[in-house]
């Protein structure tokens, strides 16, 4: 299996941490985001290519494999990381709040996975890693839209894993808890203190905590793990 990884939502936060971790490990990285951005690789012997892509646009996404073939960077590792929030109590949640989150966090995963799956099946090797959320496992007030999309990834992961396992393709999800990223930067110091009280390890996580697990699942060491949703949350949600 080649060492080329495609990562959505790679311009910042968890996605950027994953991209940098794979780069350091010697993988060629192709990362996408809705806006233009540029990587700063630490391992110059591996390629890091950034592309602007709207994963909710099937018209844009359908041309992606050909673009990557043209630059000889067709991946066998797909990491569906891109996600947005539009938090609101359900009574006040607008149709757009719902549609935008579902379109990016769930339909975007479908769109990206769909255009690469034939290549993975033909190659008889691949890794698909979906970045879910602890909110999809335990729910969170004000996040009915976000929690619904992330919960759906568990069913997506298990079902697809059963379909493609015979082709040496693993499909797993990682469910981060509260990680120090832009998505938690809005929290006040007081809110963070209260939040940490509910986490057994008494701290927020870092992007590297998610990235290292993604690297393991993508490697040969993770070849016998599939259909799983693995929580990385400091013990916030135990089941």
Identify the active-site residue in 146, 186, 216, 239: 146
DSSP string of 11-47? SSHHHHHHHHHHHHTT-EEEEEESS------S-TTS-
* CA angle (182 as vertex; 51, 206 as ends), nearest 5: 95
Q: Which residues, in sequence order, are CB contacts of 215 under 8 Å at separation 6+? A: 18, 21, 22, 25
Torsion of CA 219, 209, 176, 184, to 10 degrees: -140
Whether 186 sits among the annotated catalytic residues: the reply is no
Written as six digits, the tokens of 120 are 């993975």
Rounded to whole angstroms, how far apart are CA atoms 139 and 36?
Answer: 32
Enumerate the active-site residues. 146
């Amino acid at each position: 299996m080649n060492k080329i990884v495609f990562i959505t939502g790679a311009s910042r936060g968890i996605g950027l941490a994953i991209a940098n971790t794979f780069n350091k490990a010697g993988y060629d990285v192709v990362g996408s985001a809705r806006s233009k951005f540029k990587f700063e690789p630490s391992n110059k012997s591996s390629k890091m290519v950034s592309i602007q892509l709207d994963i909710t646009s099937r018209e844009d996404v359908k041309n992606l494999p050909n673009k990557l073939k043209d630059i000889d960077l067709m991946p066998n590792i797909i990491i569906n990381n891109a996600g947005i929030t539009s938090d609101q109590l359900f009574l006040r949640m607008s149709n757009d709040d719902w549609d935008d989150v579902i379109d990016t966090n769930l339909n975007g995963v479908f769109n990206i996975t769909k255009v690469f799956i034939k290549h993975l099946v033909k190659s008889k090797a691949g890794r698909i890693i979906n970045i879910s959320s602890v909110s999809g496992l335990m729910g969170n007030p004000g996040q009915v839209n976000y929690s619904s999309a992330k919960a759906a990834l568990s069913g997506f992961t298990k079902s697809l894993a059963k379909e493609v396992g015979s082709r040496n393709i693993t499909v797993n999800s990682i469910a981060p808890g509260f990680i120090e990223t832009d998505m938690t930067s809005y929290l006040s110091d007081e809110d963070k203190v209260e939040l940490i009280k509910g986490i057994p390890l008494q701290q927020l996580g870092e992007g590297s905590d998610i990235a290292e697990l993604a690297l393991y699942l993508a490697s040969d060491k993770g070849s016998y793990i599939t259909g799983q949703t693995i929580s990385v949350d400091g013990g916030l949600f135990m089941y």
